[in-house]
Amino acid sequence: MRREFTLEYWKDGEWLVGRLVEVPGVLSQGETLDELRANIQDAYELLTVDEREAAPEGV
């Protein structure tokens, strides 16, 4: 199921900083809007994934 959220972003020095309005705690930054969008997607997925595979032993 694909969901759509509002990305609110602003310039902070050389960086774009953003957050998902509907999901508190999902914040990220990027040098370009495309990079910010990709980083926000990663942050959202890290926050919402319930189960993760364990790292292989010895890593």
- The answer as to whether 16 is a domain residue is yes
Domain range for 33 is 7-48
- The answer as to whether 25 is a domain residue is yes
- The answer as to whether 22 is a domain residue is yes
Cβ-count burial of 5 within 10 angstroms (0-12 exposed, 13-18 middle, 19+ buried)? middle
Mean pLDDT of 35-52: 88
- The answer as to whether 26 is a domain residue is yes
- The answer as to whether 56 is a domain residue is no
CA dist 1 to 8, 24, 41, 49, 55, Å?
Answer: 22, 20, 15, 14, 27
Which pLDDT value is given to residue 49? Answer: 81
- The answer as to whether 1 is a domain residue is no
Q: What is the pLDDT confidence band of residue 57, given thresholds at 50, 70 and 90?
A: confident
Radius of gyration of the chain (CA): 14
pTM of the predicted model, to two decimals? 0.77
Structurally, the chain folds into a number of domains equal to 1
- The answer as to whether 33 is a domain residue is yes
Instruction: Kindly report, residue by residue over 20-35, the tens digit of the pLDDT.
Output: 999 999 999 999 999 9
In this predicted structure, the answer to whether residue 14 has a pLDDT above a threshold of 80 is: yes
